Amino acid sequence: MTTSDFAVGGSSSDAIELVPSPAATLRLREVWAYRELLFFLMWRDIRVKYKQTALGVLWAVLQPVGLAAIFSIFLGRYAHVPSAGVPYPVMVLAGILPWQLFAQALSESSNSVVASERLITKVYFPRVIIPAAAAGAAIPDFCIGFIVLLVMLKVFGVGISMQILLAPFFVALALLAAFAVGLWLSALNVQYRDVRHAIGFLVQAWMFMTPIVYPISVIPQRWRHFYALNPMVGVIEGFRRSVIGQEVPVRIILVSVLATVIILAGGLYYFRRMEDTFADVI
């Protein structure tokens, strides 16, 4: 008997109980046992994304740079939007990069469960892996964009300080926020297919509620903490300031982290409750 071969799904002494309504635990141990699948699904999404594309990784450069150029011309130059003490193109690119990471991770993870219909109706594994892998697949694009940002800082003569070591924290926060919202939307999407149409609108509206093309200073002081309930406010402000070497607004970030944690906890609970019905409804 080759018992050591097959460790996924708990040890053999554990009996699995199949009952109509299970205890509402998150089963994190089981998710951990399936971590390799998370990795493989993420790896698949990344491989497939870059296969058979003419421009390949160039897309990851063209999109943020193109957007940054357009915003710089129309908003920076003609509309005279303020730019937080650095050249406008630097400000806007440092905002667009984490935003695109978030937007891509959010829309991919929201559609991921519906797109994995075949897997869900044929194989068991903790479903939470699906939106997590889809969100994670947005990382390579961001990394390429980050290199472009470093070049840009050099070109515009913005010095890099030790502050930049804080940036990975905000990248992680952006992914976590996208995953948190993705949990809600991906589970809702199984039940209600018009969620798919709402995602594009949501992402677009959300972008303007986030200090990307404008600095946070345009928001009245007394509203800023309320404004930071949008998790991406903390992410963008924190990321941008750590890259251009300005002081990080700790209270704003704490509010955003708190908001993220609440959305994430609710999302995990909702997703967990819905996932047992996915195979029947999808």
Partner 1 sequence: MPTSSDIVIECEGIGKRYRIGERERYRTLRDTLTRAAARAMRGRWHVGEAPSIWALEDITFRMRHGEVLGVIGRNGSGKSTLLKILSRITRPTRGRARIRGRVGSLLEVGTGFHSELTGRENIFLNGAILGMRRSDILRRFDDIIDFAEIGEFLDTPVKRYSSGMAMRLAFAVAAHLEPEILLVDEVLAVGDAVFQKKCLGKMGEASQHGRTALFVSHNMLAVQKLCHSAIWLDQGRIRDVGPAGEIAHRYLRTVQSQHIERKWEDGDASAGDGNVRLRSVLARRADRGVDLITVRTPLALDFEYSILKPGLQLALIASVYNEEGVMVFSTDTRLTGNAAGTYRSTCQIPGDLLNAGMYSVSVTFARDEAFALFEVNDAIAFEVEDSTHGRGTWYDRWPGAVRPMLQWNTRAMDEEKESIDTLIYR
Residue ranges that bind partner 1, judged by CB under 8 A: 1-3, 5-10, 12-22, 36-37, 39-41, 43-44, 47-48, 51-52, 118-125, 188, 190-195, 276-277, 279-282
Residue 194 or residue 247: which is nearer to partner 1 going by CB? 194
Minimum CB separation of residue 1 from partner 1 in Å reads 6
At which residue do the structure tokens 């955003």 appear?
256
Minimum CB separation of residue 264 from partner 1 in Å reads 23
Q: How far apart are CA 81 and CA 66, in angstroms?
A: 18
Minimum CB separation of residue 241 from partner 1 in Å reads 39
At 135, list the tokens: 């969100």
Residue 1 or residue 165: which is nearer to partner 1 going by CB? 1
Minimum CB separation of residue 35 from partner 1 in Å reads 10
Tell me which residue of 64, 199, 197, 63 sits closest to 131, measured CA to CA. Answer: 199
Residue 37 or residue 135: which is nearer to partner 1 going by CB? 37
Residue 17 or residue 247: which is nearer to partner 1 going by CB? 17
At 242, list the tokens: 């750590």
Residue 47 or residue 251: which is nearer to partner 1 going by CB? 47
Q: How far apart are CA 46 and CA 52, in angstroms?
A: 12
Minimum CB separation of residue 108 from partner 1 in Å reads 16
User: Does residue 118 contact residue 194 with C-beta atoms inside 8 Å?
Assistant: no
User: Does residue 143 contact residue 136 with C-beta atoms inside 8 Å?
Assistant: no
User: Does residue 219 contact residue 189 with C-beta atoms inside 8 Å?
Assistant: no
